[in-house]
Amino acid sequence: MTRLMLGRTLERICKGVLLLCLLHFLIMMILYFDVYSQRFDLFSRFNNGRNGSRNNVSGTGSGHHYYYYNLSRPNATFASYLATGEQLVQSMQPENNQTPSPKPLPPCPENPPGLVGRLLIEFSSQMTMERVQKENPNVTEGGRYTPPDCRPRWKVAIIIPFRHRENHLKYWLHYLHPILRRQKIDYGIYIINQLGEETFNRAKLLNVGYTEALKEAEYDCFIFSDVDLIPMDDRNLYHCYDQPRHFAIAMDKFGFRLPYAGYFGGVSGLSKKQFLKINGFPNEYWGWGGEDDDIYNRITLNGMKVSRPDVRIGRYRMIKHERDKHNEPNPQRFNKIQNTKNTMKKDGISSLTYKVVEVKKYPLYTNISVEIGKPPPRPVKG
């Protein structure tokens, strides 16, 4: 009896030991496969496309393999797995060693959705260049901007004839940079500064701006703007059109009306093709007045028509100021306007002469200081 009980006890002990050995073996096998399954690529052969909860380190799309890595081990990194074998490293390389090309941007909409319409324009608050710069962090050096989310239809150079108007420039930059960004325009801003105190020549400075801007980029559209004019509606889109464009058609100075049918002053725009067709602007209008009418004549004499926005959209506010010194009304302007047909082929971009003294890029604009000469002596009366 004692021997029988002892035999049963030993049998139970042996079975228990065998069960413990089997359990130990199973645990060791589970740990083995969990730790080394990726190295021997066992699980990935049978579980491709599944186990979405694991870390997806590499994956392309349908028809391509997905690789999953267990990075839960202490100090485990993706690099350590790459180091386990050359075959694994090669399996991670894109097919044919080609990197995916970036998706092309869509064209910018003709009517950008971010426009706000009528704007409140005021000049009573103090303006500083530091404030304007903080307001426009996306504008790059030299006053350049390109929409990041679409492909602009025009590459626009905005050209401002300039002398002693620093305070006006702050307001212009304050209002125009946000407007232009909302309009989804690829643009650069060029201040053409006439050095010296000789008689001012607006049209010649605009010719200089056209020439200098093209040295920096392949612009195909040119907006010519006075520094004291601010648009009151951002739906007045600053790009070029099928015909030369007159933007500032309703200034507060004129009671928000077009002063006369042939008026082309303040803010205007021409494509590169249109600009060259009229031989640019006249160089011989020294002092205030006349050059805008000459440009209008050049446009019509070359078979083009001036396009304009709706009068409710083409409104502008002018910064009030005294007339500049050395920019007195040009007494010869009326005679010159009548001779546009005879002078436009020889007086223009083809006959332009000037000297660049300095080009300096500021955060919000490019300043080009130039010497453009002085007016010829006026004929003696009588």
The CA R_g of the chain, rounded to the nearest whole Å, is 37
CB 148 within 8 A of CB 185: no
Query: Residue 191 belongs to what H/E stretch?
Result: strand 186-194
Which position among 168, 172, 212, 226 bears the catalytic label? Answer: 226
Q: Which of 233, 234, 284, 291 is catalytic?
A: 291
Taking CA atoms, 100 is separated from 55, 60, 66, 74, 381, in Å, by 22, 10, 17, 33, 75
Query: Is 292 annotated in the active site?
Result: yes
d(CA 291, CA 283): 9
Question: Among the options 228, 233, 293, 347, which is catalytic?
Answer: 228
Place of tokens 């100021």: 321
Catalytic: which of 129, 153, 182, 288? 288
Catalytic residue among 64, 321, 358, 371: 321
Catalytic residue among 5, 86, 322, 323: 323
| Residue 291 a catalytic site member | yes
Q: How many CB atoms lie within 10 A of CB 108?
A: 18
Q: Which residues contact 60 (CB under 8 A, 6 or more apart)?
A: 94
**Burial of residue 113 (number of CB atoms within 10 Å: 0-12, 13-18, 19+):** exposed
- Tokens 């999953």 belong to which residue? 68
288 is an active site residue: yes
The verdict on whether 129 is a catalytic residue reads: no
Check 292, 293, 294, 347 and give the catalytic one. 292
Question: Is 226 one of the catalytic residues?
Answer: yes
DSSP H or E run through 361: strand 355-361
Q: Is 357 left (phi over 0), alpha (psi -120 to 50) or beta?
A: alpha
Q: Are 292 and 282 in contact (CB under 8 A)?
A: no
Instruction: Look up 64 and say whether it is catalytic.
Output: no
Residue 55: CA count within 13 A, CB half-sphere: 9
233 is catalytic: no
Among the options 232, 251, 318, 344, which is catalytic? Answer: 318
Give the residue numbers marked as catalytic. Answer: 226, 228, 288, 291-292, 318, 321, 323
